[in-house]
Chains A and B, each alone.
Chain A
Amino acid sequence: GAGVSQSPRYKVAKRGQDVALRCDPISGHVSLFWYQQALGQGPEFLTYFQNEAQLDKSGLPSDRFFAERPEGSVSTLKIQRTQQEDSAVYLCASSLDPGQGLETQYFGPGTRLLVL
């Protein structure tokens, strides 16, 4: 079946511009995670959804970052007034069960954001 998809795959933004990154999880997956991966680093947790509920947003670096999953499927990560330090790969992952730490996360290919 279809895996996790993300769009766009690449995004170049001018500093100050708003961007929206989309994640389509595997159908029926309850859990959805967003990660930010800077060059040379591992993925860093941003936020977690269980269906439409955002249960953990402790990793969002500033109030310029906002995520939603209004119907419990597709999720959007929005970054307002982008800064150069926002340049990174943004990964989305989904898992079948509620986040308990044991289930496998299925990752999308990521969106590579470059802020000039």
Chain B
Amino acid sequence: ILNVEQSPQSLHVQEGDSTNFTCSFPSSNFYALHWYRWETAKSPEALFVMTLNGDEKKKGRISATLNTKEGYSYLYIKGSQPEDSATYLCASPNTGGFKTIFGAGTRLFVKA
């Protein structure tokens, strides 16, 4: 059974702080890893999809890395802003791709 775990569950930072959180997944039968951002009262929005060990993706102040051998991905936010406040979800599809397993998310609060 594919199990995706995220930590921490929540995080409170000050504006300007850099922060990171973790997504762990079984390293066997790895296929892909997705990161999504979900702001309150909005729809989840895709950030990154990564497939290869050592992948690094960047979008503005947000970046992500992937280690498929040890089964983890880090999401980094540089210089957090209040508008970064959201729940960050990671997800991994099972081999074959129909069933995507999501972690419980990391809820980020950025205080101005």
Query: A: which residues have CB within 8 A of B?
Result: 3-4, 33, 35, 40-45, 48, 55-56, 58-59, 91, 93, 99-110
Contacts of A93 in B (CB 8 A): 44
CA distance A91 to B42 in the complex (A): 11
Contacts of A102 in B (CB 8 A): 32, 49, 51, 97
Q: Is the CB of B102 within 8 A of A109?
A: no
Known: A43-B102, A45-B100. A101 touches B93 (CB 8 A): yes
Known: A40-B104, A42-B104. A104 touches B46 (CB 8 A): yes
30 contacts between A and B (CB under 8 A): A33-B100, A41-B104, A42-B89, A42-B91, A42-B102, A42-B104, A43-B44, A43-B89, A43-B91, A45-B99, A45-B100, A45-B101, A45-B102, A48-B99, A58-B99, A59-B99, A99-B93, A101-B95, A101-B96, A101-B97, A102-B49, A102-B51, A102-B97, A103-B49, A105-B100, A106-B46, A107-B36, A108-B43, A109-B41, A110-B43
B26 interface residue (CB < 8 Å to A) = no
Q: Report the nearest B residue to A43, measured CB to CB.
A: B102
Q: Is the CB of B99 within 8 A of A107?
A: no
Q: Is the CB of A99 within 8 A of B97?
A: yes
B103 interface residue (CB < 8 Å to A) = yes
Q: Report the nearest B residue to A110, measured CB to CB.
A: B43
Known: A40-B104, A42-B105. A99 touches B42 (CB 8 A): no
Q: Is the CB of A101 within 8 A of B103?
A: no
Q: Is the CB of B31 within 8 A of A109?
A: no
Q: Is the CB of A44 within 8 A of B102?
A: yes
Q: Is the CB of A107 within 8 A of B105?
A: no
CA distance A43 to B36 in the complex (A): 11
Q: Is the CB of B46 within 8 A of A91?
A: no
Contacts of B45 in A (CB 8 A): 107
